[in-house]
Chains A and B, each alone.
Chain A
Amino acid sequence: MSSIGKLITNNGSRRRRGKVRVPTITLAHGGGGQAMHDLIDDVFLEAFDNEVLKPLDDQARLSLSDLTACGDRLAFTTDSYVVNPLDFPGGNIGKLAICGTVNDLAVGGAIPLYLTCAVIVEEGLPVEKLREVARTMATTAQEAGVQIVTGDTKVVERGACDKLFINTAGIGVIRERIDLGADKAQPGDVILVNGLLGDHGAAILNARGDMSLTTPIESDCACLHGLIEGLLSAVPNTRFIRDATRGGLATVLNEIADAAQVGIEIHENRTPIRAEVKGFCELLGLDPLYLANEGKIVCVVPPDHVDTALAALQAHPLGREAARIGEVTDHRPGRVVMQTVFGGRRIVDMLVGEQLPRIC
């Protein structure tokens, strides 16, 4: 990050907070001058205010002893959020930018602690929209118990990005004796999910408004570290957890089958999907197994701990509809097979590109 456009000024001293007095973001807000400082003060500092951020240095300074008190390994991740539209039923890009990075840390068994926030704004975005996103990020971070400790702001010309892109990097600490990995899946292990699949993907597709469908489907966007902590406390020898984001359940299962060179068999009738999402997919010729989720994890647990794991997931509000959807097998390593509701079997492969609606 260059010092130009940094969220935090590098003079080390607090200035009086500025105010943005225009309705839309212009290139001036990324120019490094007063307009930018006002924007940072008024929008980001206002929302994110915390002790680590306050000194306004070029970098956030974190206490090592605080970190080592939580565990024995650092988890470090980054993710960019470019969702279109910025607002969708169940959330907005800001909520997604916090939840997504928190979840990327949590699925590795880490306690999420600190996040960064770098925004790339297209000129012309209403300041109020940016403020709304920053406030959502602050609220979501607060609820998740993480702090946004450093960041960056860039403004680009119209057309150089689509309204608003956000990158959040995150640091967390992995508890001792927790060691998760896709390659740890073994034949006999059981596959669990924490609830209804495909809501986020369907909500986003619908929110784009191309289909003129009225559905009550909302994104499942949520921070899952509490749920995961519950699972790992109950079953510390859980083999693997991954959030089923882009590419959906099907993609995660293929990644596990490939990494561990095992077969995976799932059962269509046990895979929880909301009737509205099923209907949405039927209409558009999509497969819900490939729809994105932002609040769903796939867990691989040893067979003798299934009941405990399921109970731990179901005890959490974000896991009430948790279900056992399949098993790891030693048949045809690398392949995911689904027993269909109708009684047949089919391969569930990785998608080549994006899912496209069929003509007829």
Chain B
Amino acid sequence: MKYVDEFRDPLKAQFLLAEIRELVARIQVGRSRPLYIMEVCGGHTHAIFRYGLETMLPDEIGLIHGPGCPVCVLPMGRVDDCVALAEMPGMIFTTFGDAIRVPGSKKSLLQAKAEGADVRMVYSPLDSLQIAKNNPDKQIVFFALGFETTMPSTALTVLRAEKEGIKNFSLFCNHITIIPTIKAILDSPDLQLDGFLGPGHVSMVIGNSSYRFIAEHYKRPLVVAGFEPLDILHAIWMVLKQIDEGRTEIENQYNRVVPDGGNKVALDAIGRVFELREFFEWRGLGSIDHSGVRMRESYARFDAERKFSVPALKIADPKSCQCGEVLKGVIKPWDCKVFGGACTPETPLGALMVSSEGACAAYYQYGDIEKIHETKTHSQLEVIV
């Protein structure tokens, strides 16, 4: 596949890995613990597992799979609200595919659908708007979910609904924003992170300047990375290069897609429709100030939370879950007490087992845990030899 295979070239990977090994060997002199690099974005987590990147990296690099899976960090109470909306008479509830199986405190949208609710999977909020046009006698709610990546398309859909005078369409807004969450992680007292891979798609919208505080205040390097395996290796190499040279900067590996200033049209649309919430609840991380957005008063008629009454109950995460510690890199997924036992992709207890982008689900499905343990004791990697 053109423009894709070039970024999956195993020979180029070998060159990069050789340089990564050399850098790590130099950096690690006198250090007692591995280098921890967090990939913030769930898309990166997915690619890391899909290509088996962890099995290729030297043992001295630990990848910490961050909070960037919007499905995973959605609190149970919000899923309950979705189910309540979906079960209202005359309602068509539309959602992205991977949100359909997320468990609420009583049921998932998939179960609600089986019990008779009209829940439909869409690939874009515009599909949802089309459903609204086709069903003028029904109410259509779109389950708006995701970081700045999906926010522009939702905002533009609302603007179009306004322009076309569509009255039976609204959003259940669960959009979240990544910067306050990275800050919350950096403020955590048990933090052990040496650098970040920045989210490529989010940065395509917001640009790179928003990350400056990470380099300037928290003195950690961040490299915005693409999603192909060579992108990820290249970005890891760039983080290591900064550490080796004693720099902490915001760099852009994904400059074929991410402009430094972001996308003005997208940002304008977001700004017109959304405003920051005072706080938003994250599954596994708790409440984080200014980490979610809601619809502005002027778009209240497109806001399902204002238009319909939702239970809005707060449901606590199960006590046994250690998602927060996994997200912050304090423990590895398989160190969690319930991993693979009470908590599996089929019956997830914790946020990270929910979507295939969640770190725990990814380890459960793709990860070779025995192998990871093995490679941590033998320094040679079978794959490279």
Contacts and interface: CB of A to CB of B under 8 A. Distances in A.
Interface of A: 210-211, 275, 278-279, 282, 284-285, 287, 332, 337-347, 349, 352-353, 356-360
Contact of A342 (B13, B100, B123): B13
Contact of B122 (A210, A332, A341, A344): A210
B49 A346 contact: yes
Interface string B1-17: 10010001010011000
A208 to B, nearest CB: 10
Contacts of A353: 101, 110
B329 interface: no
B42 A340 contact: no
B97 A278 contact: no
A343 B122 contact: no
A360 B149 contact: yes
B51 A342 contact: yes
B127 A210 contact: yes
Contacts of B54: 344
A347 B365 contact: yes
B51 A346 contact: yes
B263 interface: no
B52 interface: yes
Given A210-B123, A282-B4, A357-B97, A343 B14 contact: yes
Most A-side CB within 10 Å, residue of B123, B149, B364: B123
B71 A343 contact: no
Nearest to B145: A359
Most buried by B among A284, A332, A343: A343
A352 B345 contact: yes
Contacts of A279: 1
Contact of B52 (A332, A345, A358, A359): A345
Interface of B: 1, 4, 8, 10, 13-14, 42-43, 46, 49-56, 70-71, 96-101, 110, 121-123, 127, 145-147, 149-150, 201, 229-230, 345-346, 355-357, 364-368, 370-371, 382-384
A332 B374 CA distance: 13
A347 B365 CA distance: 7
A275 B150 CA distance: 27
Contacts of B356: 358
Contacts of A287: 50
Contact of A345 (B10, B355, B368): B368
Contacts of B14: 343
A261 B356 CA distance: 26
B370 to A, nearest CB: 7
A342 B6 CA distance: 11
A358 B101 contact: no
Contacts of A278: 1
Contacts of A352: 345-346
B51 A359 contact: no
B4 A345 contact: no
Given A332-B370, A360-B43, A343 B13 contact: yes
B71 A359 contact: yes
A359 B97 CA distance: 7
A356 B71 CA distance: 12
Contacts of B122: 210
Contacts of B53: 342, 344
B1 A359 contact: no
Contacts of A284: 123
Contacts of B123: 210-211, 284, 357
A43 B340 CA distance: 53
Contacts of A340: 50-52
B79 to A, nearest CB: 15
A263 to B, nearest CB: 11
B1 to A, nearest CB: 6
Given A287-B50, A344-B56, 16 more contacts: A279-B1, A342-B51, A342-B52, A343-B10, A344-B54, A344-B55, A344-B383, A345-B382, A346-B51, A349-B365, A356-B97, A356-B98, A358-B46, A358-B355, A360-B147, A360-B149
A152 to B, nearest CB: 28
Contact of A347 (B46, B96, B101, B368): B368
A267 B123 CA distance: 31
B102 to A, nearest CB: 10
Nearest to A279: B1
Nearest to B361: A352
Contact of B371 (A343, A345, A359, A360): A345
A345 B146 CA distance: 29
